[in-house]
């Protein structure tokens, strides 16, 4: 292979995954204690190095597959982080990706295998390196996009109640929403539809289940 750029330096490039889930009415993040040096034992996002035969996004998908057992999920780039000393070990340039998954789909024994836990975002411990900043930026993106893009559904099962959906909105925006106004707004969305099915889990009366009816565009 012809070498064009050989006079320049090369760097390790990693991806860090900010995996959001929704459980017990809260927005949660999958984090674990680092199992390698440096920073062994510190709370950290799950990440991995970019391989030679994969794009950044491929690397994020591979990492997320290892971590969650899931192949398809909502994935969005949060940004590149390249401060010289951002990693306490060596210089690593990292690209953060934000993923939204349905906690129920998560393969539970992978959780133990990787030593990760779901932690509520309002209750996060200090995180390794600049991971805190990545998380904050990811939440900012979610907040800004939640009304423009059908994000929230990725955090729920394919059948969901309006109450669940409202809880997702409230968790992401960190504010409470009026139930009637919320339901009115949701009725105007053309990509969700009511089914005949009823969820009896959470109430005696039962709540109508809704689903997406179109493939969501980027």
The DSSP line for 198-211 is EE-SS-SS-EEEEE
Beta bridge partner(s), residue 208: 198
Which partner in its own copies, DNA, none is near 35 (CB below 5 to 8 A by kind)? none
Count other Cβ atoms within 10 Å, centred on residue 66. Answer: 14
Of residues 4 and 215, the one with the C-beta less far from its own copies: 4
Kindly state the smallest distance separating residue 29's Cβ from DNA, in Å. 25
Of 8, 71, 204, 215, the one binding DNA (CB under 7 A) is 204
Pick from 72, 83, 107, 113: which binds its own copies (CB under 8 A)? 83
Please report, in angstroms and rounded to a whole number, the separation of the first and last CA atoms in the chain.
36
Compute the C-alpha angle 67/69/72, nearest 5°: 105
Question: Closer CB to its own copies, residue 49 or residue 191?
Answer: 49
54 binds, among its own copies, DNA, none (CB under 5 to 8 A by kind): its own copies
Q: Residues 167-186 vs DNA: string with x where CB under 7 A?
A: -----------xxxx-xxx-
State the minimum distance, in angstroms, from the CB of residue 33 to its own copies. Answer: 17
Q: Binds 213, which of its own copies, DNA, none (CB < 5 to 8 A, cut-off by type)?
A: none
- Strand ranges across the sheet with 26-33: 43-44, 26-33, 116-120
Does position 195 interact with DNA (CB under 7 A)? The reply is no
65, 164, 190 from 169: Cα distances, Å:
26, 9, 18
Instruction: Determine the Cα–Cα distance for residues 16 and 10; give it in Å rounded to an integer.
Output: 19
217 binds its own copies (CB under 8 A): no
The three-state secondary structure class of 95 is strand
DSSP state of 90: S
Per-residue tokens: 50: 């970019």
183 binds, among its own copies, DNA, none (CB under 5 to 8 A by kind): DNA
- Contacting DNA (CB under 7 A), which of 202, 213, 214, 216? 202
Cα–Cα nearest to 76, from 20, 14, 157: 20
Task: Classify residue 86 by its DSSP letter.
Answer: S
Residue 207 interacts, among DNA, its own copies, none and using kind-specific CB cut-offs from 5 to 8 Å, with DNA
Contacts with DNA, residue ranges (CB under 7 A)? 161-163, 178-181, 183-185, 200, 202-208
Contacts with its own copies, residue ranges (CB under 8 A)? 1-5, 8-13, 36-38, 49-57, 77, 79-84, 89-93, 95, 144
């Amino acid at each position: 292979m012809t070498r064009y750029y050989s006079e320049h330096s090369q760097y390790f490039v990693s991806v860090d995954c900010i995996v959001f889930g929704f459980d017990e009415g809260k927005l949660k993040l999958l984090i674990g204690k680092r199992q390698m040096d440096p920073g062994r034992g510190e709370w950290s996002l799950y990440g991995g190095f970019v391989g030679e035969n994969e794009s950044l996004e491929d690397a994020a998908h591979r990492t997320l597959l290892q971590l969650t057992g899931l192949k398809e999920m909502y994935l969005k780039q949060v940004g590149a982080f390249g401060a010289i000393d951002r990693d306490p070990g060596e210089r690593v340039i990292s690209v953060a990706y934000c993923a939204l998954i349905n906690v129920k789909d998560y393969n539970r024994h992978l959780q133990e295998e990787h030593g990760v836990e779901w932690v509520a975002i309002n209750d996060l411990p200090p995180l390794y390196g600049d991971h805190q900043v990545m998380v904050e930026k990811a939440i900012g993106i979610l907040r800004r996009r939640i009304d423009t893009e059908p994000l929230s559904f990725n955090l729920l099962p394919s059948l969901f109640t309006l109450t669940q959906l409202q809880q997702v909105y409230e968790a992401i925006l960190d504010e409470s929403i009026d139930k009637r106004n919320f339901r009115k707004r949701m009725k105007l969305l053309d990509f969700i539809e009511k089914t005949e099915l009823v969820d009896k889990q959470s109430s005696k009366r039962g709540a109508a289940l809704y689903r997406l009816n179109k493939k969501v565009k980027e």
